[in-house]
Structure 1
Amino acid sequence: MQNENENRDNIPEYDFDIIEIVKAGWHHIEGVKGIFLASFVVYMVVVIILQIILGIFFPSPPPPAEPNLVNQQIVTILSYPVVMPIIVGIMMLAIGYSRGESIEFKSIFNYYHLMGKLALAGILIYIMTVIGFILLILPGIYLSIAYVFTMPLIADKGMDVWDAMELSRKVVTKHWFKVFGLFFLLSILMLLGVLTLGIGLIWAVPLLFFTLYGLLYPLIFDGVEV
């Protein structure tokens, strides 16, 4: 029992340079931007369709009227069983590509057998983060970054939901400010991509997924037994 507890608490050591890992991500996405962009477009289309359909049953008035926040939260949560497996599929594209595997667009639909676990993880992360923001804002910011590897840990390592959340949180906490800095920089690049009439997203979307999940995730977790 003691050895099991030691293994459970054995958080992998890692370190990285924010600028260098972004440069590496930029170099590695050459030639595969299309598959990541197409996958993200499919994800966004599915999200929009679900928002429209669920919005019929849980309506929220358009601006400038006050939005129905409760209905918005219900729509978001009800969409998780459908959208979470797709976004995880995109994460796993990046992870697979970094490991030298052949990647295919259709593989983004390979994770619906984990629909229940991924939806539950999404709901728990959402609730924990919202509670964090309600309390003091800073806990919400901390948790929103700390849980960033939960989904691939479930899909890649077969972990249970809470164990994956906790391992992600403990690992990210080791270098939380660096992970936050990386996430912030990639988010700025995404924003710039939007501001260039979406043209910049051709580079920004693949860069975000591959840097976080194709480079940083394997750097931390490849070779780690859980």
Structure 2
Amino acid sequence: MNFFAENLKVFKRIFFPLFALVVLSSNLDQYLNLHIENALRDPTGAQQQVLFYGFFAILSSILFPVLLIGCCLYALNSLYNWADDLEVFLKKHLNQMYIESLRAWGKTLLWSLLFILPGFWKYLQYSLVPFVVTSSQRYDLGKEDALQRSAEVVNKHWGKILGILFLFHLFIPMMVTTLFDSYRLIWKTPVQSLMLSALDTYLLLVSTHILFNIFKREVKQHDAHV
């Protein structure tokens, strides 16, 4: 099955629930950021408001990315195994995804405090941690560490993975933000906001699909030599 046929199947299976999550996370971020900016502009000082909305902004930035990538990986894994539905898949993997992601973020932060470039490299090395948690039988059996395995795969394909992350998670989002950021608020421009969220959803699906294929090929090659 070629990439576009696979991507169409993934699109049909997960687009609408993923789209709903993207709409929720995007507008929640916009809402929290607006309140933080207003609180910072308050001449009388609004430290409590900044801390309150800042806390939820940090919480949102932790919860939603893992949940979004988990939904994408559910649809991609379903290409090979149709036994689980989304709820079962998330119950099985989501908690462990958060644990391993927090481990990865903690190590990345430690390296970033020392030097920026080593911190960025660690971020890149751990970018496939959710793929290991959801798509590796050796991880399920406790035979490999998610962070180490992610780093091994990235070390072999770092150019491709860096290019994918740069294109889909930095360059295109920056261009879209520069041109259309004023249309993000769903309570002000609902049609434009939903269209931008649909674009975000599709870009997330495509980028995750490409990374998933790289990871699955590496797993097959590794298993063939074990």
Percent identity (aligned): 14
Do the aligned partners of residues 223 and 103 (structure 1) sit closer, same or farther apart at CA in structure 2, a change above 3 Å counting? farther
Q: Which has the higher contact order (CA 8 A, sep 6+)?
A: 1
Question: Equivalent of 1:131, from 110, 113, 117?
Answer: 110
Q: 2:76 aligns to what?
A: 94
Q: 8 Å contact 1:133–1:139 — kept in the other structure?
A: yes
- Secondary structure of 1:148's aligned partner: coil
Q: Which amino acid aligns with 1:224?
A: H
Matched residue, 1:186: 168
The structure with the largest helix share of the pair is: 2
User: How many residues are paired up?
Assistant: 192
Root-mean-square deviation over aligned CA pairs? 4.0
Task: Name the residue aligned to 1:4.
Answer: none
Q: In the alignment, is the contact (CA less than 8 A) between 1:93 and 1:108 conserved in 2?
A: no
TM-score (norm 2): 0.63
1:133-212 pair list within 5 angstroms = 133-158=112-137, 159=139, 160=142, 163-187=145-169, 188-192=171-175, 195=179, 197=192, 198=196, 200-201=199-200, 203-212=202-211
Per-residue deviation at 1:108?
5.8
Give a deviation string over 1:139-195, Cα, whole Å, max 9, x none: 221122111221121222252598111111122112323311122122234555665
Structure 2 residue ranges without an equivalent (≥5): 42-49, 181-191
* Aligned-partner SS, 1:165: helix
Structure 2 Cα separation of the partners of residues 193 and 83 of structure 1: 19
- SS of equivalent residue, structure 2 residue 100: helix
Partner of 1:39: 17
AA partner of residue 36 (structure 2) = P
Gaps of 5+ in 1: 1-23
1:62 paired residue number = 36
Q: From the CA coordinates, give the structure whose radius of gyration is larger.
A: 2
